[in-house]
């Protein structure tokens, strides 16, 4: 019987991969050959007539097989253990050739947890109407290759995604970037999905309230016109001051001349009266 079974485990755990046959209680492992192999090429371990006859170098001291249900136990799971495994069971008979009882494939998915997604923002431009920013979501140290998804106020967004890993069986780092034009306060959500697991982080994004309009430098024409106006205004003040000063001085001089004439008139000698002889005789 051919069956496809799926087993999942995390790095460092102990996991059991089930076989397709169980030895009856009336029999023992002495009557069987059992092969556990990976990707149809590498023999993980093999038993014949109850004895261990082969063990893969990479699985030494990390694997064992149950003598009754033939489960393959792997301890301290590694990323390299990820893959397809086959359990092949043959029954040994003295009078006949060995008989294949079952050949079953088990798909083993190894998982390494990613870190909780970290969201950061960088404001590139801000005005009264909107705030332009770059949002970055990153996570690291996980397996297998993940997907990144997100939402802006529950509306799906598409991240510009990049991955980093030394090989297909190494831990992954993932980074997603978004360029947003925020016109109001919103909430951004970032989710990392891998092998049926999901890790999510949310962050509120607030539009900045910096509405100060920067002052523009005055143009050359404006500066020139302003200078001319100021100079004309100052000249007008100076001329007006001089005109008032002259008028006041002129008025003072006229008043002084009138006073001097009055004084001269007052100090004139009295006119002499000549008495003629005719008058005397009268």
Model confidence pLDDT, tens digit, residues 32-76: 999 999 988 899 999 999 999 999 999 999 999 999 999 999 999
The phi and psi torsions of 82 (rounded to 5 degrees) equal -60, 135
Note whether 13 and 105 are same-domain residues. Answer: yes
d(CA 70, CA 74): 13
- Which DSSP letter does residue 65 get? E
On whether residue 175 sits in a domain, the answer given is yes
Q: Say whether the peptide bond before residue 144 is cis (omega within 30 degrees of 0).
A: yes
Note whether 138 and 106 are same-domain residues. Answer: no
On whether residue 138 sits in a domain, the answer given is yes
Note whether 72 and 121 are same-domain residues. Answer: no
On whether residue 38 sits in a domain, the answer given is yes
> CB–CB of 126/144 below 8 Å?
no
Q: Provide the CATH number for the domain around residue 178.
A: 2.60.40.10
On whether residue 201 sits in a domain, the answer given is yes
pLDDT at 190: 97
The 3-state DSSP class for residue 248 equals helix
Instruction: Provide the token pair at 199.
Output: 């890790």
Helix (H) or strand (E) holding 74: strand 72-74
C-alpha distances in Å from residue 162, one per residue of 14, 166, 174, 175, 191: 32, 14, 6, 5, 15
Beta partners for 89?
34, 102
The phi and psi torsions of 128 (rounded to 5 degrees) equal -65, -30
Model confidence pLDDT, tens digit, residues 236-282: 888 877 777 776 666 655 555 554 555 455 555 555 444 444 433 43
Range of lowest pLDDT (74-83, 124-133, 211-220, 234-243): 211-220
On whether residue 251 sits in a domain, the answer given is no
Average per-residue pLDDT in the chain? 84
Range of lowest pLDDT (189-193, 212-216, 227-231): 212-216
What does pTM read for this prediction?
0.65
pLDDT > 80? residue 198: yes
End residue of a domain, out of 49, 77, 111: 111
Closest CA to 85 of 17, 15, 14, 170: 17
pLDDT > 60? residue 133: yes
Helix (H) or strand (E) holding 88: strand 83-91
The 3-state DSSP class for residue 214 equals coil
What does the pLDDT average to over 131-142?
Answer: 94
Return the higher-pLDDT residue of 173 and 275. Answer: 173
Measured torsion, CA atoms of residues 215, 221, 223, 225, in degrees rounded to the nearest 10: -130
Return the higher-pLDDT residue of 11 and 246. Answer: 11
Instruction: Provide the token pair at 187.
Output: 């909430």
Note whether 126 and 101 are same-domain residues. Answer: no
Note whether 130 and 103 are same-domain residues. Answer: no
Domain count, the chain: 2
Note whether 18 and 60 are same-domain residues. Answer: yes
On whether residue 255 sits in a domain, the answer given is no
pLDDT at 273: 44
On whether residue 28 sits in a domain, the answer given is yes
End residue of a domain, out of 148, 174, 205: 205
pLDDT more than 70, % of the chain: 80
What's CA 279's distance to the chain center, in Å? 135
pLDDT at 167: 87
Range of the domain at 152: 115-205
């Amino acid at each position: 019987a051919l069956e496809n079974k799926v087993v999942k485990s995390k790095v460092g755990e102990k996991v059991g991969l089930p076989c397709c046959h169980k030895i009856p209680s009336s029999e023992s492992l002495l009557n069987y050959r059992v092969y556990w192999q990976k990707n149809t090429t590498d023999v993980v371990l093999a038993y014949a007539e109850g004895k261990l006859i082969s063990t893969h170098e990479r699985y030494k001291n990390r694997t064992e097989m149950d003598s009754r249900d033939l489960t393959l136990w792997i301890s301290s799971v590694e990323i390299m253990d990820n893959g397809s495994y086959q359990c092949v069971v043959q029954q040994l008979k003295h009078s006949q050739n060995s008989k294949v009882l079952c050949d079953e494939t088990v798909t083993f998915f190894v998982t390494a947890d990613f870190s909780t997604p970290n969201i950061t923002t960088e404001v590139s431009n801000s005005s009264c109407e909107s705030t332009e920013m770059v949002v970055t979501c990153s996570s690291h140290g996980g397996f297998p290759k993940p997907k990144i998804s997100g939402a802006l106020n529950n509306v799906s967004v598409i991240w510009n995604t990049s991955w980093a890993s030394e090989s297909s069986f190494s831990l992954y780092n993932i980074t997603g970037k978004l360029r947003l034009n925020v016109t109001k306060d919103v909430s951004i959500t970032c989710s990392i999905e891998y092998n049926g697991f999901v890790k999510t982080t949310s962050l509120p994004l607030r539009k900045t309230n910096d509405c100060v309009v920067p002052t523009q430098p005055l143009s050359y024409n404006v500066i020139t016109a302003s200078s001319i106006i100021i100079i004309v205004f100052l000249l007008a003040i100076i001329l007006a001051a001089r005109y008032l000063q002259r008028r006041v001085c002129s008025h003072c001089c006229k008043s002084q001349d009138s006073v001097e004439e009055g004084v001269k008139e007052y100090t004139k000698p009295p006119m002499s009266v000549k008495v003629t002889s005719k008058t005397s005789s009268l």
